Amino acid sequence: MCHSATLVQTKGQLAPPSPPNFARDVPGRVMIPAYARPAHHRLRAKLAEIAAWNENEGPMQVIDGDRALGIITSGISYQHVREAAPRARVLKIGLSYPLPVEAMRRFAASVERALVVEEGDPYLYEGARTAGIAVEQKPEMYRFGELNVSRLRRIVAGDVSPEPALPAGKPPELCPGCPHRNVFEVLRDLDCIVAGDIGCYTLGVLPPFSAMDTCVCMGAAIGVGLGLRHSLPPEQARKVVSVIGDSTFVHSGITGLVEMVYNPPATGHVLVILDNGTTAMTGMQEHPGTGRRLDHEATGRVVFEDLARTLGIKNVHIIDPVADEEAIARVLREALARDELSVIIARRLCLLAAGAIKIREKKANAGQ
């Protein structure tokens, strides 16, 4: 869905929000069991109301066409449908939960062949079938990967012959000069078991580093690393390192750090925070560790080393992985050899963000 862009027509101004005012509503906002039970009834009633509205005046569109083929679809698939089957009659669903099943039923009855077209798993299709509506779904092979106009043409034709192979793409890689590179070279050379996380640095999984063994969800590096340390035999447990980016650490890694202190594995643990001073992967946003707000104005800063020491971790190291390439290998080797907790902060600005960050820092210093 991220792969589509279009012009949109904006509607008129929305009514301005009413002025903020706290109106006490304890049964509505405090979900103790006595209030949660009636709240469940209110939720179902609200959903029924939305469903009725969706059926009658919801954001749904019927595009008239040849009744030999009717297509029920929504979202980006609608664009593919219009291009691949311009003559078909189409029901475009705008709000898909609760599903407007009666509108789907009427639409399916109005055409000779009703086909549901949707990305991925068959949500619209199963909703229709559960309601007893006779519709076709796309063949199983089109459940995988993205839909596009040529696949849509094949779906409409019921073509399940093998698809032409996609041209081999160039795998993504860390920028040349990226500060994460040196850290992953060391993790690879020390043959660590790396519990990784999500960010630019996830590319440490690919050659030439091949130095990441797990990546589950934002912040999981620490919990997964601790789990491995607790459960693996000591000779393997001693190789486990959790690696997390700075933005990911503040997003949802801090609870893992608390757990590391509270339930330390017998072999200790090593956490590497890759502090490149920005949220590189998603567009260089600020985060609580940079000391600047999203609009780059100065604000309070969460200082990782202070946090780790305050939580009781004795071995806290701050290393510039580019200026002192050798230090990262030495400190990591020492940390792995100790049955203690260590936090290594590899601090070096992302190469692509460094220029802008330095200008912001200069401005902030001049204003002090």
Q: Which residues bind ligand SF4 (CB under 6 A)?
A: 174-175, 178, 180, 200, 276, 280, 350-352
Query: CA-CA distance, 301 to 293, in Å (whole number)?
Result: 10
Residues 179 and 345 sit within 8 Å (Cβ to Cβ)? no
Contact call for residues 242 and 271 (beta carbons, < 8 A): yes
Q: Find the shortest distance in angstroms from Cβ 208 to ligand TPP.
A: 18
Other residues' Cβ atoms within 10 Å of the Cβ of residue 206? 15
Enter the tokens of residue 158. Answer: 């019921």
Which residues sit at the interface with ligand TPP, rule CB under 6 A?
A: 198-201, 218, 245-248, 274, 276, 278-282, 350
Q: What DSSP letter does each residue of 81-101 carry, written as one string?
A: HHHH-TTEEEEEES--SS--H
Question: Which CB atom, from 298 or from 352, has the smaller least distance to ligand SF4?
Answer: 352
In contact, 184 and 211? CB cutoff 8 Å: yes
Q: Which is nearer to ligand SF4, 174 or 186 (CB)?
A: 174
| Residue 246 binds: one of ligand SF4, ligand TPP, none (C-beta under 5 to 8 A by kind) | ligand TPP
Beta-bridge mates of residue 319: 346
Q: How far apart are CA 362 and CA 368, in angstroms?
A: 10
4 or 282: CB nearest ligand TPP: 282
Q: Largest alpha-carbon pair distance within the chain?
A: 74
- Smallest gap from residue 305 Cβ to ligand SF4 (A): 20
Cα–Cα distance measured from residue 24 to residue 76, given in angstroms and rounded to the nearest whole number: 42
Nearer to ligand TPP, 73 or 279 (CB): 279
CB of 351: closest distance to ligand TPP in angstroms? 11
Closest separation between CB of residue 179 and ligand SF4, Å? 7
3-state secondary structure of 67: strand
Cα gap 340→144, rounded to integer Å: 45
Amino acid in the structure at residue 332: L
Nearer to ligand SF4 among residue 146 and residue 324 (C-beta): 324
Burial of 196 (0-12, 13-18, 19+ CB in 10 A): buried
What is the closest distance, in whole angstroms, from the C-beta atom of residue 158 to ligand SF4 in the complex? Answer: 44
Bridge partners, residue 136, by sequence: 115
Structure-token pair, residue 305: 């080393």
In the complex, what is the shortest distance from the CB of residue 314 to ligand SF4, in angstroms, rounded to a whole number? Answer: 29
Which of the choices ligand SF4, ligand TPP, none does residue 351 contact, using the CB cut-off of 5 to 8 A by kind?
ligand SF4
Contact predicate 196/215, CB 8 Å: yes
Which of ligand SF4, ligand TPP, none lies near 178, with the C-beta cut-off 5 to 8 A by kind? ligand SF4
Min dist CB 349 to ligand TPP, Å, is 10
Q: Which residue is nearest to ligand TPP (CB)?
A: 245
Cβ distance to ligand TPP smaller for residue 280 or 327:
280
Taking the complex as a whole, the smallest distance from the CB of residue 100 to ligand TPP amounts, in Å, to 30
The site partner of 248 among ligand TPP, ligand SF4, none (C-beta below 5 to 8 Å per kind) is: ligand TPP
CA distance 357 to 355: 6
Nearer to ligand SF4, 92 or 181 (CB): 181
Q: Which is nearer to ligand TPP, 274 or 329 (CB)?
A: 274
Omega before residue 98 within 30° of 0, cis: yes
Residue 247 contacts which entry, ligand TPP, ligand SF4, none (Cβ below 5-8 A, type-dependent): ligand TPP
Which one of ligand SF4, ligand TPP, none is in contact with 198 (Cβ closer than 5 to 8 A by kind)?
Answer: ligand TPP
